[in-house]
Amino acid sequence: MSLPVESEEVCARCRLPRAEWGGVGEGYPKLEQRYCCRGCADNTGCTCLEAGPAA
Ligand SMILES: [Zn+2]
Ligand SMILES: [Zn+2]
């Protein structure tokens, strides 16, 4: 038996593991891909690592 792929989901652009995504951890879905944040979805740069827990 093998687990489904989403058990180890990563951002489609920067490959950041889901556990480290900012916000509520749901990411930012776009075009059937899932990104860690809007920055990655829009290709304007990931903001997860600089946003911090205050966001
Ligand atoms: Zn990303
Ligand atoms: Zn990000």
Q: In this predicted model, what pLDDT tens digit does every residue of 1-55 receive, in sequence order? A: 665 555 678 999 999 999 989 877 789 999 999 999 999 999 999 988 775 554 4
Angle at 6 between CA 4 and CA 12, to 5 degrees: 135
Task: Give the residue carrying structure tokens 């652009």.
Answer: 13
Ligand closest to CA 39: 2
1 CA → ligand 2 middle, Å: 32
The count of C-alpha atoms lying within 13 angstroms of the C-alpha of 37, restricted to the half-sphere facing its C-beta, is: 19
Residue 7 forms part of a structural domain: no
- Is residue 35 within 8 Å of residue 27, measured between CB atoms? yes
Residue 46 forms part of a structural domain: yes
Domain that holds residue 27: 13-51
Q: Which residues pair with 17 in a beta bridge?
A: 10
Q: Give 3-13 pLDDT, tens digit per residue.
A: 555 567 899 99
Q: How many domains does the chain have?
A: 1
Ligand closest to CA 23: 2
CA–CA gap between residue 24 and residue 10 (Å, rounded): 15
24 CA → ligand 2 middle, Å: 12
Residue 43 forms part of a structural domain: yes
45 CA → ligand 1 middle, Å: 8
